[in-house]
Amino acid sequence: MSRALSPATPLAAVGRSVLGTLAMIGRVSRFAGETVSHLFRPPFYAREFLHALVQIGWLSLPVVGLTALFTGGALALQIYAGGARFNAESVVPSIVAIGMARELGPVLGGLMVAARVASSIAAEIGTMKVTEQIDALVTLSTNPMKYLTLPRVLAATLAVPVLVGVGDAIGIMGGWAVGVSRLDFNAAVYLKNTIDFLETWDVVSGLIKGAAFGFIVATMGCYYGMNSGRGAQGVGRATKSAVVAASVLILAANYVLTELFFTA
Amino acid sequence: MIELTDVHKSFGSKHVLRGVDLSIPKGTSMVIIGGSGTGKSVTLKCVLGLVRPDSGQITVDGNDVNTGDRDAFLARFGMLFQGGALFDSLPVWQNVAFRLLRGALKRPKAEAREIAIEKLRRVGLTPETADLFPAELSGGMQKRVGLARAIAAEPEIIFFDEPTTGLDPIMAGVINELIREIVTEMGATAMTITHDMSSVRAIADNVAMLHDGVIKWTGPVSRLDDSGDPYLDQFIHGRAEGPIEAVR
Ligand SMILES: Nc1ncnc2c1ncn2[C@@H]1O[C@H](COP(=O)(O)OP(=O)(O)OP(=O)(O)O)[C@@H](O)[C@H]1O
Ligand SMILES: [Mg+2]
């Protein structure tokens, strides 16, 4: 009990949480590394992969599309209002396009996928863990990392960039619709400005971010699902942790990738 | 031959197994009895390598279960989980034929389905059950599907965790007979956990009683009634009074 009163207690708490975080990073990295290593070792479960592709890619389209549409529209309004302060309203098309492609498309798309997919993966795998289905897989000579994790991670890594690309287009279209209907832009001029100013790298960098975010989302969903505690409470906690961790990691990775891509 | 030597396992501060010694000769049927929460299921999972013991040794035919080729090792096993553990994303027949649809034992879909339906019939389920999903079945039906899955690939070693719990007496009889058949006809080695004393008598060659983390008594089923062991006597007669405390 005397330890609880010692002046070093706050320091010890900080130390503990730092150590805990580092250990966590180590475990997640190992998990991710093991997942990737299964990519190079058969057998592969093609059906599981296709199923995951539909679940993660196709069924996320509406959410990602709506997010992009409204974001593009709001972005156009904001940039118009901001640009008006120094008579630069004409930058709306190019800034909307660059902002969507480089930053908002991948980040908001990634976060929406995190909410939708990390949670459902964690809940599904967590429930399988709690009801001994993961143990059953092992006894049936099927590696859960190959059968459950790899298909989902691979599907998300491939599908999220496509979602981001579609989201970019829809977001730019949202900006265009607002620009033309509310801000008196000429429809053809707006489009021409967009196309003239948008560079390939603006789009490609966003797609690469999307792939990284997809990987993060599925990996966190699988990691927390596989390590779910017992009972319904354990699954609930796993689901929550997966979404939180995926979201924070997406924002952190976004910063790191932006630094890498655009400050050289 | 399965051998457990001085196996210990704790979960946190809970010391569940405290030195389990047990051996199951090839081609015999061992039944494990013991109070709820004494670690029977954990013992089976230790043998399968699903739970790693803290200390002690477990060998199958002389080979340590936690080393060597896990795939080849597990291919010899079938396991019925206490909760059934059916894959709820797959229809019943694909659950039963899981092993036959992928991996080393893979065969054509139609053949796998036929085998699945035959196994379902053996556990008293009609072919119509094959296309339902596990969530559409009753508890006892799920259990029997789990049993069908465990025996589908005709494993050499089969573990049954409470195969008759939740079944009506007639169905329990059918399942007992099936397990007995698998051991005598297919020459499989079986390890069964059950709380049902009529099952014990129907299935067992040998019986082991787990209590307080150790095997309190083990012997042939014929000695069950005149063992002279107060723990075993209390257990098989279901008496509230005796050396085993009712609150554990
Ligand atoms: N994964 C786990 N984590 C923590 N504790 C566990 C775990 N698995 C089992 N236990 C504990 O180990 C003890 C033995 O569990 P086990 O499932 O082996 O009991 P059992 O003998 O099969 O009981 P029952 O007859 O009720 O099925 C229990 O007290 C349980 O709480
Ligand atoms: Mg049990």
For the segment A86-104, what is each residue's pLDDT rounded down to a tens digit?
888 889 999 999 999 999 9
Are B83 and A45 inside 8 Å of each other by CB?
no
Structure token pair of residue A150: 């790899």
Q: Which residues surround ligand 2, an ion (CB under 5 A)?
A: B 41, 82
Whole-number pLDDT of residue A244: 96
Whole-number pLDDT of residue B151: 93
Pocket test for ligand 1, best of B11, B54, B165 (most atoms within 8 A of CB): B11
Ligand 1 atom with the smallest distance to the CA of B43 is 18
The helix (H) or strand (E) run that includes residue B183 is helix B169-186
**Inter-chain contacts counted by CB atoms under 8 A, chains A and B:** 48
Q: Which residues of chain B have pLDDT under 70?
A: 247-248
Whole-number pLDDT of residue B89: 92
A48, A132, A230: best mutation site toward chain B, by most B Cβ within 10 Å? A132
CA–centroid distance, B14 to ligand 1, in Å, is: 10
Axis crossing angle, helix A150-182 with helix A61-84, rounded to the nearest 10: 40
Q: Which residues contact A185 (CB under 8 A, 6 or more apart)?
A: A92, A93, A176, A179
Q: Which residues contact A73 (CB under 8 A, 6 or more apart)?
A: A174, A175, A177, A178
Per DSSP, B246 falls in state: S
Search chain B and give the residue with CA nearest A46. Answer: B102
Ligand 1 atom with the smallest distance to the CA of B12 is 4
Distance CA B160, CA B215 (A): 18
Pocket test for ligand 1, best of B14, B40, B42, B215 (most atoms within 8 A of CB): B42
* Ligand 1 atom 2 nearest Cα: B11
Per DSSP, A59 falls in state: G
Residue with tokens 């079945």: B137
Whole-number pLDDT of residue B166: 86
Whole-number pLDDT of residue A2: 47
CA distance B79 to chain A (A): 7
Sheet containing B14-24, strands listed edge to edge, beginning at the edge strand earlier in sequence: B14-24, B2-11, B55-60, B63-64
Pocket test for ligand 1, best of B16, B159, B161, B211 (most atoms within 8 A of CB): B16
Domain span at residue A129?
64-262
Whole-number pLDDT of residue B72: 85
Q: Which residues of B touch A45 (CB under 8 A)?
A: 102
Q: pLDDT tens, B58-107?
A: 999 999 988 888 888 898 999 999 999 999 999 999 999 999 998 778 88
Which ligand approaches the C-alpha of residue B37 most closely? Answer: 1
* Strand duo B206-211 + B29-34: pairing: parallel
Q: Which amino acid is at A154?
A: L
Of B50, B99, B104, the CB nearest to A135: B50
Structure token pair of residue B50: 């699903």
Give Cα B159 distance to the centre of its chain: 3
Residue A12 lies in a domain: no
> Residue B155: is the preceding peptide bond cis (ω within 30°)?
no
Residue A182 lies in a domain: yes
pLDDT of A126 higher than 90: yes
How many domains would you assign to chain A?
Answer: 1
Helix (H, G, I), strand (E, B) or coil at B220: strand
Q: pLDDT tens, A66-81?
A: 999 999 999 999 999 9
Residue A70 lies in a domain: yes
Residue A55 lies in a domain: no
CA–centroid distance, B161 to ligand 2, in Å, is: 7
From A65, A61, A58, A48, select the one nearest A124 (Cα to Cα).
Answer: A48
Search chain A and give the residue with CA nearest B51. Answer: A135
Q: Which amino acid is at B88?
A: D
Whole-number pLDDT of residue A220: 97
* pTM, rounded to two decimals: 0.91
From B1, B55, B57, B60, select the one nearest B26 (Cα to Cα).
Answer: B1
Are A142 and B88 inside 8 Å of each other by CB?
no
Residue A71 lies in a domain: yes
Structure token pair of residue A201: 């790298």
Distances (CA, A) of A190 to A57, A91, B70, B142, B144: 30, 10, 63, 62, 66
pLDDT of A6 higher than 80: no
Q: Which residues of B touch A133 (CB under 8 A)?
A: 85-88
Q: Which amino acid is at B50?
A: L
B88, B98, B102, B161: best mutation site toward chain A, by most A Cβ within 10 Å? B102
Distance CA A215, CA A158 (A): 9
**What's the rounded mean pLDDT across residues A175-191?**
94
A139, A148, A226, A230: best mutation site toward chain B, by most B Cβ within 10 Å? A139
Which pLDDT band holds residue A199 (cuts at 50, 70, 90)? very high
Identify the contact set of chain B against chain A, taking CB-CB distances under 8 A. 45, 48-50, 71, 74-75, 77-79, 81-83, 85-88, 98-99, 102-104, 149
Q: Are A135 and B85 in contact (CB under 8 A)?
A: yes
Residue A106 lies in a domain: yes
Q: Give the bridge partners for A216, in sequence order.
A: none
DSSP assignment of A108-158, as one string?
Answer: HHHHHHIIIIIHHHHHHHHHHHHTTHHHHHHHTT--HIIIIIHHHHHHHHH
Alpha helices in chain A (DSSP H): 2-5, 9-37, 46-56, 61-84, 92-99, 105-113, 119-130, 133-139, 144, 150-182, 187-197, 200-226, 231-262
Distances (CA, A) of A105 to A102, A170, A202: 7, 9, 11
Residue A174 lies in a domain: yes
Which pLDDT band holds residue A3 (cuts at 50, 70, 90)? low
CA distance B86 to chain A (A): 6
Axis crossing angle, helix A9-37 with helix A200-226, rounded to the nearest 10: 110
Distance CA A86, CA A78 (A): 14
Average per-residue pLDDT for chain A: 94
Whole-number pLDDT of residue A264: 65
Backbone angles phi, psi at A198, to 5 degrees: -80, 125
Helix (H, G, I), strand (E, B) or coil at B8: strand
Q: Which amino acid is at A170?
A: I
Helix (H, G, I), strand (E, B) or coil at B175: helix
